[in-house]
Structure 1
């Protein structure tokens, strides 16, 4: 895929605080790209910069090869969808979706055709005459998406788009967003602090920390091969212990409880259990680290061989599953 958006050495300071520090990224055509990071990492500042609401003090931004660094928001082929959705309460779904096209004074026939098309794509056609107060949270989110997509931007920016939804609806809408992005063929850039959300939806993820890009890669790459300890600690659960002057790291699902085959084993004692439905997190004190190692056990395996606090157990893993970082 060709590069749609090039962010080149962008820096933004607010007084003594450097929100973005020489950030360089390339985002491809028709890609679902996630900016992931903790609060204060710079991800929202970068998103606002792409939308044109913030200006870099250094560096430039190119879209389709054209320099848009100083271009005002209204002149960019970019749309930003806010977490609040900001729907017009007095308008119907159809009116909300059509509003942007009406402001462009497009012919009524073209407006109707484009609105009807996007209402079908977002599965809102049956709700077209309802007002926002007659919609569920997920339906409001789809209306906000339809309103952004109907303008056919080259780039759609989404700021914590699922933050207002409950956990079950968020999971459903993660798949819905991915489906919509695939169907409409528009590049999505989403800002989120939710690791699971980024891993489920994104083609690639950029992990930001203190205004810098720590790693860019597919969900599989950043989870299985983190570039440094910061990334390893941020993405998912990770066990760390020191050995030979190095930090070793291994995921809970890569550790076996009562292993039948393993390159490395260690004895320990169960100090806590956390039930999550599909699996069980078993916290085991070992001589390897002051903090317990966490082991993910499937519900089926936990039923076959239950463990309780205080039980003596054996942990095992293969060296291929261990990541090594400098201390």
Structure 2
């Protein structure tokens, strides 16, 4: 078991009458890639700024290696914050940008050269050392900003939407690069993002926040497969919902009177308003044989994504069409068009039930 490098104990932050962060407690492990995730205004950036020292908690404590740093100024914390804008010095070379922090600390020139060379190699920037920022691509600038943040060897590196300025393809490339760098340097990374896919790819664990409150903290797999509530289920990935009433024997009675099979969680009792949920990729098109849940519907829209085809199917279970993900191979073997009648099915084990 990795030890905790950072402990957040009952932290709240108020700005006048507004509570931006509400009684959040988290433990973040050494050498962990941790993601803070949530919609705009959920409190994730405020929490990051408190970890960096730019905001002071209204209540609660932040412990770094067991020491309370809640009121320690940013320059006295072994923590570095990398901003989305990168904030590179435009008149300095890549090497000068990376070495700046060590020079400000008054490190010996030989040590600076050695550590900069090492960081240039780690971030694969060796051939760009003499270039200025305006001669670099977006991905190269991001690596320079990372190198500058990492060269001071912080205990924790905080990243605020680090890939937000990059296009989709470059984002994908840099996600892999970030994971490689974090593994090589062995530093705890905490990233703030509103991009669910990015968090799923990058994080060892993730925390989902809403309205300043922590809703769930777990591995990406657990959060995706076993969301704590309907909000988390809908926010992480894509989810189909059917509102109804929980059945005492298990499952949910949908609005059309049909029963959706699934196990009731402890928080949901029979007769209570509930919502049944299923992921698009768990739904089988034209299911054969026995299957717990079965419904029919009309294809109202098609969305081609290259690797797969997403069907929008209007069913009697819900007002909103169900989304069904079909592989390109399946779509080629059985072409579909708007207006087609289809049958859908999924297992009881793939149903998630939440209070409504």
- 1:259 Cα offset (Å): 1.2
The answer for the alignment partner of 2:280 in structure 1 is 252
- Show the counterpart of 1:325: 354
What root-mean-square deviation, in Å, do the aligned CA atoms of Structure 1 and Structure 2 show? Answer: 0.7
- TM-score w.r.t. structure 2 length? 0.91
Counterparts of 1:15 and 1:276, CA distance in 2: 46
Cα distance between partner residues in 1 of 2:296 and 2:135: 58
Local SS of the residue matching 1:6 = strand
Report the TM-score, using the length of structure 1 for normalisation: 0.99
* Corresponding residue of 2:48: 47
1:310 to 334, 339, 345: 339
Deviates more, 1:243-252 or 1:276-285: 243-252
CA deviation after TM superposition for structure 1 residue 15, in Å = 1.2
Mapping of 1:2-41 within 5 angstroms?
Answer: 2-41=3-42
For residues 70-85 of structure 1, what are the structure 2 equivalents within 5 Å?
70-85=71-86
Give, in angstroms, the shift of residue 7 of structure 1: 0.3
Answer with 276-285 or 241-250: which moved more. Answer: 241-250
**Separation in 2, partners of 1:96, 1:207:** 34
* Equivalent residue, structure 1, for 2:327: 298
Partner of 1:233: 234
- TM-fit CA distance, 1:289: 0.8
> What residue in structure 2 maps to residue 164 of structure 1?
165
**Secondary structure, aligned partner of 1:50:** helix
Matches of 1:239 and 1:187 in 2, distance apart?
A: 35
Return 5+ residue gaps in structure 1 as ranges.
none
Q: Deviations over 1:145-183 (max 9, x none)?
A: 000000000000000000000000000000100000000
Distance 1:310 1:94 in 2: 60
Measure how far apart 1:263 and its partner are: 1.8
Aligned residues: 327
Within-5 A mapping of 1:81-230: 81-230=82-231
**Structure 2 spans left out of the alignment, 5+ residues:** 246-272
CA distance in 2, matches of 1:106, 1:268: 69
Task: Tell me by how many angstroms 1:233 deviates.
Answer: 1.1
Deviation per residue, 1:66-95 (Å, 9 max, x gap): 110110000000000000001011111000
- 1:71 counterpart SS class: coil
